Structure 1
Amino acid sequence: MNVQQIGLCLVLLLFVVCNSNASNPTVTVDQGKLIGKRFQFRAQDTDFDVDAYLGIRYAEAAVGPLRFKPPVPKEWQGELNAHEYGYSCPQPIFSAGMPVALGKTSEDCLILNVYVPVPVRPNRAVMLWIHGGAYSIGAGSFAELETYPIASLGDVILVSINYRLGVFGFLATGDEVVPGNMGMLDQLEAMKWVQKNIEAFGGDPNRVTIFGESAGSGSVSLHTLSPLSKGLFSGAIMQSGVANVPWAVLEDKTHFPKRAFGIGKLVGCEKEDTKQLVDCLVDVPTDDLLNASQRMMEVFPEDPEMFPFAPVYDDHFISEYPDTLIKQRSFNPSNIMAGYNADEGTTIFVVLYPDSIEKPHINVTEFDNFMAASKLHLTPLQKDALELVYFDNDMLTEPNPNYYDPYIRIAQDSTFACSTDTYLRGAAEADVGSVYAYYFNHHPSKSIFNTPWSGACHADDLGFFGFHFTPNDFNMTDVEVEMTLKMIQYWTNFAKTGNPNIGTKNEEASSPAAKLLEWPQFTLDKRTFKELSPSMKNIPDPSGISCKLWNDYFPKLDAALANKQQECKSHWSKEDKESCSGEAKP
């Protein structure tokens, strides 16, 4: 690579990818030889090399009779070219202004990619990335969403995976025909592949940290609770999502067959029982099934779930609803890090108003509509309590107040913050490893959604790990570059030692080698969060007061109302008991 070629790499960007002329690297696994390719990228005037092994199939194509079935491990022998990214899994086109899974899609998509820092050496910690996307979009890696800078900058081996999405990964019939969770079992199979093969790449199978964002984060959290995942990882990092958020797991089993038969009706598979239905669905063309699945919300607008296809509790991968498992402290042994962004609730608005240069004005009618669409199922008394906590004086004095801020705060707490609070407290009490909490509170100079008013929005943290969605137009400030390097160091230190402050067991957290402000553990006595911002300061629980409303007051209010209804019924005659029907009217 000559000087002119190096100059073409935009040094001012944090991560700039260039091709290297180095010979193709190889590695031998149990089944044969993998031939990879070498990447070179530049960060802060330093060149880094990384060996990439791309598009490795860890399971057979889930087509024909294997559609809707658990994954079957891929068998091969000989020599395999691992030069190109594999297919992304079938998914709809997401139009919020960022690429999600460019290139071709196919049901032959159960692939993983391995990135190894050069020079290769043994016993490196491993980080396995599980992508997000509402369980319906996304991919582990592709050319416009490179994931390997974190490997070289943090000196870890990085693995990224695909798993089945939408109807292909999360259809459930409510019985043994299709119990569901195919996508989760795909993730599990990839984790098993890593345990079996990562040592050949120089990885330490005893130091594998699974991490993900959004639905990927929810997936990671489910693995911390599933008995099937026990022993396959030593650490878990959850970025904006835990197992007990309202959208992570479908709760009402009575709706599973309804969705399945609804899909069948849309594609001409109207059958009498679930076996006949699935026998028909396995022959439906991929695009027809995908298109039908996108119509589920319009066909069943009364569906109580946020996503029609998502993980379910199936008495196999997950035996109980996550809230129950957390209360039972049924955590797999692992170190845990979890957190969320300061403005998660803006997500719906950046999708609805992608071209707006100012934050939207939401009137009271729109606010009520958004609240209804969020499916929180609030009683009148609970709605009154929300107004007391989230409304300010403008809501009472202005003739046409803007309900934008109250809504995003309610959405933030109800769908991210307060579930994370419950999860963290459960993990700390379970005492199965160290626990750390964070709060991403930096409004990027350029949001991934390209909206100047969205704050620290959902997924904005990804740009600070090399997962930049628009690499040719993602100009970080010098302060953000420094913040990025610190975040990568915290994350990769955690993968190496279970402690984000140190990268080796004999390193002191306060030593010059750390160069980081100390990140205290989250405990029941002192619920400290690391604020991910240029200051990297430690703060008390940022949602402690509002989460007391959701996690403590609302359950007590429900219990008090239930007791009141029972007392009422015991004092009225049978004919008058309808007056105690429990509408929870104030």
Structure 2
Amino acid sequence: MRNKSLIVSIVLMQVYVAKEAYCITVQTPVGVISGLQETLKIDGRQYRMSKFLSIPYAESTAGENRFMKPIPKAPFSSTFDATQLPMACHPSYYEAEERLDKYVNFTEDCLTLNVFVPHTFEKNVSLPVMVWIYGGAFIEGASVIYPAEGISTIGDVIVVTLNYRLGMFGFIQSADGKLPGNQGLWDQHLGIKWVHDNIKAFTGNPNDVTIFGESAGGASVVYQALYPGNQGFFQRMIAQSGSALAYWTIRDLPNAVDLIAKKGCDQAPDPINCLRALTPRQLQDNDTLPWAPFLDKDFVIASPSEIVYGNDSATSSARNLFASLDFMTGVNNFDGALYLVVVWPNIIHYSDMNTFNLTREEFIDLAIPKVINDVIKPKNNRTEAIVAEVLDIQYTDWQRPNDSATLRFSLTNMSSDAVFFFPAVSTAKGHAALRKGKTYLYELSAVPTTHGIPTPNWIQGSNHADDIQYVFGYPLYAGPQSTGNYTEEERRLARGMVTMWTNFAKSGNPNKPDDAGKFTNATWAEFDLDFQTFLQFTNQGALPGSRFHARRMQLWSDLLPTSKECHD
């Protein structure tokens, strides 16, 4: 999931603070916070809103606090100035900082959040709240690149965006327990708890909270929904192109040893103190080490699939929380095209994703074994050979088995299914089977004017992260993320997705209270195990469907991941 272009290509904002802004102060349980009131023009209307930026919810994670669980921020002794541009947590590799340091400052005192309120406190209201968790493969990302004016004002919801630690700073874990692991998940949890404890002062309803995120942020949403300590902190969840049931979102073994050795701390009397003595830049590395949530028996008490699909009494509290929440999840129809940028060039060795020639031999000998090794991990050669043949049969277009253009689509579809599609559908099925909260599934297949990440010209659809611009309403205002080149179809799509996302946050039903159908021309039916209904968002509107890629999903569900020969 590493993507060196994702943050840069979503152009950073210089206009978080508008030209005409006025101060406003709010008395919260942690002290007085001073923010800004602004007037904005969004989708042809004037909106007045308030923004509070860079509010710390935890103490600095530098020094002795590095690699440890976050410590709640002490109450403010004086008015806190929440008008400054948010800083970011350090990514795991220094190339990301070098690309971004002209736009964003990085710090270990980064556990902050931003609150977007769609009014100027002139009325007494209690609004639904949406808490955004960014993606970036758990190794990069920042709240600063997701200004939420559009979704907040159009949807009339309070939006909170928060930072959490990344890479070795947020997910290092040692076998002796001195490095606990899952620091980034604990950060998210503490930020969500801060919202629950303080959002009422911003006219938010602490009992009407939705957490939502994309990619690693979507996986984080599911992880938070599987942690019983979040009971009562949120009522709904939206996971976009990411799930904790995906193979890339969890590690079984401690990961500190490699970093300790790589940084020359393996011979130190205290290797952990040796790591703490290094600067953030000295800690960072451009090699991809396994930074992701860890099965620590503390935050992640069991594998997510065991919690969702199991019946062990030890995981019942986690399963009951997950079941009780309303759940929306979905994918982009070419999510797997991300791998054309971040994975396949290193395996198949090409430089131009628009024109590279993929042979059948490369598909069989390089691509399929990579998927098997990463996702399925068979225990013996016989199983591996059978799985390889099954994948070849499924993803080869047998009318044109040697056609390079067709094989590139086969490669993309296999990537989409293994990395994003099957985990999303599996999570939706698991949630629906518990028969408590409502479940909704979607697919975005629109062709955007501007992709969020580099995309080959032969992809006519939505790549990974293309959903963000519509969910946040970027086509509808001349804000920092707008390209200015959106079509009227895309503006209509943005209105529909913003309305359905915020409807879901308000009622647990994307179709109400606001009339989303006037933008989508469709009603979004709940997903259930009988009909498995989903909604497909296109440039022309939305289309109901059922049994999302049924044959391909059945392959992964019944033949590959659950094979006893692979996993026993």
- TM-score, with structure 1 as normaliser: 0.83
- Matched residues in 2 for 1:470 and 1:199: separation? 29
Secondary structure, aligned partner of 1:406: helix
* 1:522-557, Cα deviation, whole Å (9 max, x unpaired): 01111000112232111112222111111102357x
Q: Against the structure 1 CA distance between its residues 366 and 561, is the aligned structure 2 distance closer, same or farther, given a 3 Å change threshold? A: closer
223-232 vs 63-72, greater mean Cα deviation: 223-232
For 2:180, the equivalent position in structure 1 comes to: 179
* 1:187-210, Cα deviation, whole Å (9 max, x unpaired): 000011001100000000000000
For 2:80, the equivalent position in structure 1 comes to: 80
Q: Against the structure 1 CA distance between its residues 191 and 464, is the aligned structure 2 distance closer, same or farther, given a 3 Å change threshold? A: same
Q: Against the structure 1 CA distance between its residues 413 and 94, is the aligned structure 2 distance closer, same or farther, given a 3 Å change threshold? A: farther
- Matched residues in 2 for 1:241 and 1:341: separation? 11
Mapping of residues 25-36 of structure 1, within 5 Å: 25-36=24-35
Mapping of residues 14-413 of structure 1, within 5 Å: 19-75=18-74, 76-91=76-91, 92=93, 102-120=103-121, 121-142=124-145, 145-250=146-251, 252-253=252-253, 256=254, 259-271=255-267, 276-291=270-285, 294-295=286-287, 297=289, 308-328=290-310, 330-332=319-321, 333-351=324-342, 356=352, 358=354, 360-367=356-363, 368-374=365-371, 375-376=374-375, 377=377, 379-396=384-401, 398=403, 403-413=407-417
The CA deviation at 1:272 is 7.7
1:55–1:113 CA contact under 8 A, matched in 2? yes
Q: Against the structure 1 CA distance between its residues 296 and 560, is the aligned structure 2 distance closer, same or farther, given a 3 Å change threshold? A: closer
For 1:9, the equivalent position in structure 2 comes to: none
Secondary structure, aligned partner of 1:78: coil
415-424 vs 204-213, greater mean Cα deviation: 415-424
2:369–2:388 CA contact under 8 A, matched in 1? no
- Matched residues in 2 for 1:562 and 1:460: separation? 34
RMSD: 2.9
For 1:473, the equivalent position in structure 2 comes to: 483
The CA deviation at 1:382 is 1.0
Q: Against the structure 1 CA distance between its residues 93 and 493, is the aligned structure 2 distance closer, same or farther, given a 3 Å change threshold? A: farther
2:432–2:439 CA contact under 8 A, matched in 1? yes
Secondary structure, aligned partner of 2:441: strand
What is the one-letter code of the residue matched to 1:199?
K
- Matched residues in 2 for 1:526 and 1:100: separation? 49
323-332 vs 488-497, greater mean Cα deviation: 323-332
- Matched residues in 2 for 1:361 and 1:98: separation? 30
Note if 1:539 corresponds to 2:545.
yes
Q: Against the structure 1 CA distance between its residues 101 and 138, is the aligned structure 2 distance closer, same or farther, given a 3 Å change threshold? A: farther
| Number of corresponding residues | 521
486-495 vs 43-52, greater mean Cα deviation: 43-52
The CA deviation at 1:265 is 2.0
* 1:464-513, Cα deviation, whole Å (9 max, x unpaired): 12375973535210011011001000000000111111127xxx998x8x
- Matched residues in 1 for 2:496 and 2:486: separation? 14
The CA deviation at 1:88 is 0.2
Secondary structure, aligned partner of 1:207: strand
What is the one-letter code of the residue matched to 1:51?
S
- Matched residues in 1 for 2:65 and 2:309: separation? 36
- Matched residues in 2 for 1:241 and 1:416: separation? 6
Q: Against the structure 1 CA distance between its residues 240 and 427, is the aligned structure 2 distance closer, same or farther, given a 3 Å change threshold? A: same
Larger radius of gyration: 1
Which residues of structure 2 form unaligned runs of 5+? 1-14, 312-318, 379-383
Q: Against the structure 1 CA distance between its residues 555 and 213, is the aligned structure 2 distance closer, same or farther, given a 3 Å change threshold? A: closer
The CA deviation at 1:79 is 0.5
Q: Against the structure 1 CA distance between its residues 355 and 280, is the aligned structure 2 distance closer, same or farther, given a 3 Å change threshold? A: closer
Secondary structure, aligned partner of 1:146: coil
The CA deviation at 1:140 is 1.2
- Matched residues in 1 for 2:435 and 2:358: separation? 44
Q: Against the structure 1 CA distance between its residues 493 and 97, is the aligned structure 2 distance closer, same or farther, given a 3 Å change threshold? A: farther
- TM-score, with structure 2 as normaliser: 0.85
Q: Against the structure 1 CA distance between its residues 561 and 146, is the aligned structure 2 distance closer, same or farther, given a 3 Å change threshold? A: closer
* 1:84-134, Cα deviation, whole Å (9 max, x unpaired): 123200113667999799411011100000000114342100000000000
Secondary structure, aligned partner of 1:192: helix
2:524 to 504, 519, 528: 519
- Matched residues in 2 for 1:410 and 1:97: separation? 33
The CA deviation at 1:561 is 8.7
Secondary structure, aligned partner of 1:482: helix
Q: Which runs of 4+ in 1 moved over 6 A?
A: 94-101, 352-355, 560-563
Which residues of structure 1 form unaligned runs of 5+? 1-15, 298-307, 564-586
For 1:482, the equivalent position in structure 2 comes to: 492
116-125 vs 159-168, greater mean Cα deviation: 116-125
The CA deviation at 1:345 is 1.0
* 1:150-172, Cα deviation, whole Å (9 max, x unpaired): 00010000000000000000001
Q: Against the structure 1 CA distance between its residues 364 and 396, is the aligned structure 2 distance closer, same or farther, given a 3 Å change threshold? A: closer
1:444 to 430, 438, 448: 448
Percent identity for Structure 1 against Structure 2: 30
